[in-house]
Amino acid sequence: MCGIVGYIGSKDAGPLLLQGLKQLEYRGYDSAGIAIGSADRIEQVRRVGRVANLAGALEEEPLRGSAGISHTRWATHGKVTEENAHPQPSSDHRFSLVHNGVIENFESIRAFLRERGYQFHSETDTEALANLIAYHYDKEPAASPDGRESHFLRSVRKALLHVEGTYGIAVLCADAPDQLVGARKGSPLIVGLGSGENFIASDVAALLGATLQVIYLNDGELVELTRDSYRILSSEREPVDAVVHEVDWKIEDSQLGDFEHYMLKEIFEQPQALENALRGRIAEDGSTAKFGGLNISPRDLRQVDRIVFCGCGTAWHACLVAEHLIERYARIPVEVEYASEFRYRNAPLDKDTLVFVISQSGETIDTLAALREARRKGYRTLAINNVVGSTIARETDGGIYQHAGPEIGVASTKAFTSQLFLSSMVALLFARLRDMSFSDGFRYMESLRRLPEQVEQALRMNDSLQRVGQWLAGFEHCLFLGRQLLFPIALEGALKLKEISYIHAEGYPAAEMKHGPIALVSESCPSLFLVSQGEVLPKVVANMQEIKARGGPIVAIATESCQLPEGLVDERITIPDADDPTLAILATIPLQLLSYHAALARGCDVDKPRNLAKSVTVE
């Protein structure tokens, strides 16, 4: 959600902070601000709306200094106003704070501080923390008894001891212009290391083009930065030996290139993303998948007798596809849980249950909470995620990196199909560990090998899909329908359409039409069917005929060999024939393009849809 960028060095901080904020715009936000320390004071500028509004204000009112913090806010506590935008100053203006997360006990902190004369000018929980740091700064002696902390760092640490909730913060102090302090608990924070300069950010994307050397802070850690050094301490004041990671994303990966929007760029990057997911993961005999980071032996994997998948949003749809494939090919019972509900359900799990989480960012707060609950109860955990060094990647027993590159568009495209692809490979791995034959495994892997080329073929439909998408833009309601493996893709298609075009859309198993949704069918509510040749095709055709009889427009996304009665559908979109291991991915491509073109036709902001954030890091 919200984005943090901080800098300390010898350069003018303002342009660097603005550039970092621009690279975080995809996270979703409604206001932005910058604070820069100079001499013995902190100056700041905040604006509602896009980073461009903030940049315009800074042209008229430049801030000069070589240390600063900046933020893009997604409103939680308080309306979208300049007073509620970050950075939030303390009432004495000696501290300025940017904050991701939620401080649950902020009301009691505010009440405590008001009694002691501290003033509040916003509705935010963040201002309570800014004033609490100021309170401890006034209360604590300037010199540390043992010399292990600066006055500034100690005040931040003492304040955080009283905070309930989650936070990723960066703080400036007017009395310490050569220092920048950060801390995290439940909300990601990254330190970027440079030469004569250092950075802090909530997302590695903010640092692309500035540095490739990063440190991922763990929960409960604080960092003190100067232009030439960094020091990381635990909340118990113990020094932390940090691990420096090399970022493998390039600045070019996060730029538009020749595309009009990031979403379209990332749709067309899917063949390469799938190639990246497959590279180095084919066994020497070509009959199964291999993964280097599972940290579980084949013998232990054979003992797994139940798998629970957890995810949120689009990742949850990927979990549903994984369920279908693993149960069909590996014959292992699979359950799919909303990550947000898993830790509250207290579901009974067998001792040989494996908990598998899926998260593009590796920071999704509900998915991380589900992972931690599973680990707390002693279950083995694995993850599929796209960000090396993310919290989920570091806390799970093992996992699989997607290697899809940065995904900037809020609506997930290449990350989703990459998750489907890796789920299919996981199904093959489990199947070959059990009773799938070499020949069947080899054929399965061959279908995976063919997929990037088939996706290229599906992308060539973009021009014809533009016309259908523009037609779809004229409706306010839409149904997406599929059976078996294609039902989760119907859910994903509905989600994509409503995310970026704001058309109300619902996904259902096609057979459920008669159990309520058929009441919505009319000339003003089209139905999009996902169909392939197979045993349930006659049943789906019967569903189509029921809709046709009631005047509902029908669009069919169908495989080449799928036989549909002439005149039954208003629009047919044909995708290559595919086996189950790859069918869901091929069916996804036209849905992404239809949603994209429908949103464009309605004048929507495709890459930054209203009210949405790329990575949900608060409950």
Q: What does the radius of gyration of the chain's CA atoms come to, in whole angstroms? A: 26
CB 224 within 8 A of CB 217: no
DSSP characters for 368-394?
Answer: HHHHHHHHHTT-EEEEEES-TT-HHHH
What token pair was written down for 77? Answer: 């506590």
d(CA 240, CA 59): 40
Query: Is 310 a catalytic site residue?
Result: no
d(CA 1, CA 306): 33
Query: Is 614 a catalytic site residue?
Result: yes
Q: Give, in order, the Cα–Cα distances in Å from 27 to each of 3, 24, 33, 71, 339.
A: 7, 6, 15, 11, 20
Pairing verdict, β 334-338 and 306-311: parallel
Write down the catalytic residue from 185, 414, 608, 614. Answer: 614
Q: How many CB atoms sit inside 10 A of residue 212's CB?
A: 18
List alpha helices for 161-283, DSSP H: 262-268, 270-278
What token pair was written down for 409? Answer: 């568009």
CB 131 within 8 A of CB 118: yes
d(CA 385, CA 78): 32
DSSP characters for 431-495?
Answer: HHHTT--HHHHHHHHHHHHHHHHHHHHHHTTHHHHHHHHHHHTT-SEEEEEE-GGGHHHHHHHHH
d(CA 430, CA 610): 41
Write down the catalytic residue from 2, 310, 312, 525. Answer: 2
CA-wise closest residue to 70 among 25, 29, 20: 20
DSSP characters for 486-516?
Answer: GHHHHHHHHHHHHHHH--EEEEEEGGGGGGT
Query: Looking at the annotation, which residues are catalytic?
Result: 2, 614
